[in-house]
């Protein structure tokens, strides 16, 4: 069609030139009712006025923003405001971006770790979980291992409060950490072991012990003993060496408790997987790293039992 600009009416070819859209696209919009022609020539060619041109420009903008044809038609018909459409579309884009970031994170982790095909599928499924689904997995773990037991409320609340907050764009380490944590809390043997710890806790509480979380001073004291044990180990000292005996005597004296008795109590809560649980949470959440203390704790328990 030749432009009929003198009368303020345009053919499809002129609309295409002014908007950058193809004539095929404009015809499609017109056929779908999104761009009704203003008039037709005697030969049946469609003609459009300035209002139609403005409508087409708006339609083009909405489509470039990813708004669907149905929603765009709602806006053009006045049945929905552009602000409402934008709000709906932002929510949709946010979800699409979340999925794309997780896919990228999975691919980065696969490339870094050289994962096998079965690992890739597991990684994808676990990465796609929502925050609520991840939290539910952790809550179900604690529900099972503490079921029916009288656990100190403060202690239990502290255990449950730590949740895996995987960011929208996790690093390979964070994603791998979440996968390992998800596998760990679903491991039957690990659940059995933590259940044993919870049963010991409940029995000690029934026997009159407070069993609340250790205060900062107590925690620092324990960390000091473990640091000393680690240093003794690094120096090549055996648990039954003079260095081991001296540290065991110090611990027993400061606790005012027989060494063997404390060793038995301490060993109940000793499992490298329990320590790994907190290390993984720290990695996922970007917390300060949790040091590995199980070897030092095992050395210290052996030293306590070696005392006469």
Q: Collapsing DSSP states into helix, strand and coil, what is residue 23?
A: helix
pLDDT tier for residue 5 given thresholds of 50, 70 and 90: very low
CA 115 to chain centre: 20
Q: What is the pLDDT of residues 84-127, one digit of tens each?
A: 777 877 877 787 787 788 778 777 777 777 767 666 776 677 77
Q: Is residue 100 part of a domain?
A: no
Please indicate, yes or no, if residue 136 is contained in any of the structural domains: no
Burial class (CB in 10 A: 0-12, 13-18, 19+), 5: exposed
Torsion, Cα of 31, 35, 41, 45 (10° steps) = -40
In the chain, % helix, strand, coil (3-state, to 5) comes to: 70, 5, 30
Cα dist from 301 to 104, 196, 239, 248, 276, whole Å: 45, 19, 8, 8, 19
d(CA 61, CA 19): 10
What total of structural domains would you count in the chain?
Answer: 2
Residue 163's pLDDT is what? 95
Mean pLDDT of the chain: 88
Give the integer Cα–Cα distance in Å for 213 and 27: 72
Q: Could you tell me if residue 236 is inside a domain?
A: yes
Give the pLDDT confidence score for residue 115 in this predicted structure. 65
266 within some domain = yes
Q: Are 183 and 137 in contact (CB under 8 A)?
A: no
In a domain, 51, yes or no: yes
Residue 69 lies in a domain: yes
pLDDT band at 149 (very low <50, low <70, confident <90, very high): very high
Query: For residue 286, is it within any domain?
Result: yes
**Pair 23, 1: CB distance under 8 Å:** no
What does residue 114 show for φ and ψ, rounded to 5 degrees? 60, 45
> 3-state DSSP call for residue 49?
strand
- The H or E element spanning position 131 is helix 131-146
Which pLDDT tens digit goes with each residue over 265-284?
A: 889 889 999 999 999 999 99
Q: How confident is the model at residue 228 (pLDDT cuts 50, 70, 90)?
A: very high
The CA distance from 26 to 19, in Å, is 10
Residue in 225, 214, 247, 243 with CA at minimum distance from that of residue 297: 225
For residue range 52-85, what is the model confidence (pLDDT) as tens digits?
Answer: 898 898 888 888 888 888 888 888 888 777 687 7
Share of the chain above pLDDT 70, in %: 95
Looking at the predicted structure, is the pLDDT value of residue 6 above 60? Answer: no
pTM: 0.67
Of 108, 71, 107, 77, whose CA–CA distance to 92 is shortest?
71
Nearest CA-CA partner of 267 in 292, 238, 229, 299: 299
CATH code, domain with 49: 1.10.1660.10
Does 23 fall in a domain? yes
Cβ–Cβ under 8 Å, residues 55 and 35: yes
Question: What's the Cα-to-Cα distance from 163 to each of 41, 179, 196, rounded to whole Å?
Answer: 69, 14, 22
Last residue of one domain, picked from the residues 14, 47, 80: 80
Predicted confidence at residue 3, as pLDDT, reads 38
Domain that holds residue 265: 214-306
Task: Name the pLDDT band for 4 (thresholds 50, 70, 90).
Answer: very low
Q: In whole angstroms, what is the distance from residue 273 CA to residue 277 CA?
A: 6
- Choosing from 52, 80, 108, the residue where a domain stops is 80
Q: Give residue 151's Cα distance to chain centre.
A: 28
Domain C-terminal end among 80, 106, 129:
80
Does residue 165 register a pLDDT over 50? yes
Which position has the higher pLDDT, 36 or 3? 36
Each residue's pLDDT tens digit, 167-208:
888 888 898 899 889 999 999 999 999 999 999 999 999 999
């Amino acid at each position: 069609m030749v432009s009929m600009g003198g009368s303020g009416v345009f053919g499809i070819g002129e609309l295409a030139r002014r908007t950058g859209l193809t004539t095929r696209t404009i015809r499609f919009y017109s056929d779908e009712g999104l761009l009704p022609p203003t008039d037709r020539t005697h030969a049946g060619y469609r003609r459009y006025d300035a209002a139609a041109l403005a409508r087409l420009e708006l339609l083009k903008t909405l489509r470039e923003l990813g708004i669907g044809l149905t929603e765009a038609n709602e806006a053009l018909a006045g049945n929905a405001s552009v602000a409402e459409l934008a709000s709906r579309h932002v929510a949709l884009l946010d979800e699409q971006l979340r999925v794309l970031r997780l896919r990228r994170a999975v691919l980065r982790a696969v490339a870094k770790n050289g994962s096998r095909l079965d690992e890739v599928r597991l990684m994808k499924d676990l990465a796609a979980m929502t925050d609520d689904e991840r939290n539910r997995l952790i809550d179900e773990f604690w529900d099972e291992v503490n079921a029916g037991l009288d656990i100190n409320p403060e202690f239990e609340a502290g255990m449950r409060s730590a949740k895996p907050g995987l960011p929208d764009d996790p690093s390979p380490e964070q994603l791998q950490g979440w996968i390992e944590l998800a596998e760990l809390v679903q491991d039957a043997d690990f659940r059995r072991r933590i259940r044993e710890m919870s049963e010991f806790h409940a029995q000690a509480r029934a026997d009159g012990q407070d069993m609340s979380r250790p205060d900062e001073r107590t925690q620092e004291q324990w960390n000091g003993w473990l640091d000393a044990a680690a240093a003794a180990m690094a120096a090549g000292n055996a648990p039954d060496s003079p260095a081991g005996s001296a540290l065991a005597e110090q611990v027993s004296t400061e606790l005012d408790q027989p060494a063997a008795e404390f060793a038995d109590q301490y060993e109940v809560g000793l499992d490298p997987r329990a320590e790994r649980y907190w290390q993984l949470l720290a990695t996922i959440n970007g917390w300060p790293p949790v040091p590995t203390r199980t070897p030092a704790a095992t050395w210290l328990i052996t030293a306590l039992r070696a005392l006469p």
